Amino acid sequence: MRRTSKKSSSSTATASAGVEQVNEKQNRKRKGVSTNLTSRKAQRGPTKAVSKEVERIDQFFYTYADNSSGMIDPEGIETLCSHLEVPHTDVRILMLAWKMGCDKQGYFTLDEWRTGLKALRADSISKLKKTFPELVQEVTRPSNFQDFYIYAFRYCLTEDKKKCIEIPVACELLNLVLGLQFRPQVDKLNNYLMYQNDYKVITMDQWMGFIRFCNEINFPSLDNYDSDLAWPLILDNFVEWLRENKS
């Protein structure tokens, strides 16, 4: 009887231990499920927020988009500008196109719009207006400005395989992108470009020469300009013209 009692007691203890192990496993499993559910909920939260943001940005886009083309065309951009209370020739609209990475002048695609407005966190006119000071600061940083300057030239190449922009377009663009920082140089350069008859268009190489001139050359003295330093010929002629008119 004693042996039986010991065996029975041992059996009961083993069964009890087994139940405890099963309960522990079930608890762990439940905790795992709970943790997974919490994790999924946490993942769903931001995803839903992002999708809602994209939805609002898309609705904002379709306020100005043309139904047939599915893009914001020049007419839509003019309407957008009127709501932003800026002229369509304002440099901030060009900066906005740069932020979107727009490929074709005068047109915003939905993907471009999403790219720019998600980065700016803007899904309405009021929010887009408020981003302008920050956008201007971003573009005018030395690390970004050269990229913006190159983009401005390429954005004005309105035809495929086109490599030059016409003189009047170049003058308007110089006013927009360099006028705030280098007004005296830009005024003289534009006067020269409109005065001379040797050049009808501006190439990328010449365009890059203009910003280099503004950044490096003492103006109006021009005392550190050296024509032997591989400047584009148009700038050699410009400096010669300046010196002749100065004297």
- State whether 178 and 222 are in the same domain: yes
Instruction: Please check whether residue 18 lies inside any domain of the structure.
Output: no
* pTM of the predicted protein model: 0.79
Question: What is the extent of the structural domain holding 95?
Answer: 49-140
Tokens coding 52: 């809602």
Task: Give the separation between CA 179 and CA 176, rounded to whole angstroms.
Answer: 6
Tens of pLDDT, residues 40-81: 444 444 566 668 999 999 999 999 999 999 999 999 999 999
For the segment 193-230, what is each residue's pLDDT rounded down to a tens digit? 998 888 999 999 999 999 999 999 999 999 999 999 99
Length of the chain equals 247
Structural domain count of the chain: 2
Q: Which of 140, 168, 203 is the last residue of a domain?
A: 140
Does residue 202 sit within a domain?
yes
> Which pLDDT value is given to residue 24?
53
The token pair that represents 231 in the structure block: 């400047």
The reply to whether 217 and 157 lie within a common domain is yes
* Residue found by looking up tokens 């910003």 in the block: 211
Residues 174 and 209 placed together within one structural domain of the fold: yes
Is 60 in the same domain as 119? yes
Q: What is the pLDDT of residue 50?
A: 67
Could you tell me which of 164, 153, 177, 167 has the C-alpha nearest to residue 105? 153
> Using an 8 Å Cβ cutoff, are 72 and 66 in contact?
yes
In a domain, residue 33? The reply is: no
Q: Is residue 32 part of a domain?
A: no
Cis peptide before 184 (omega within 30 of 0): no
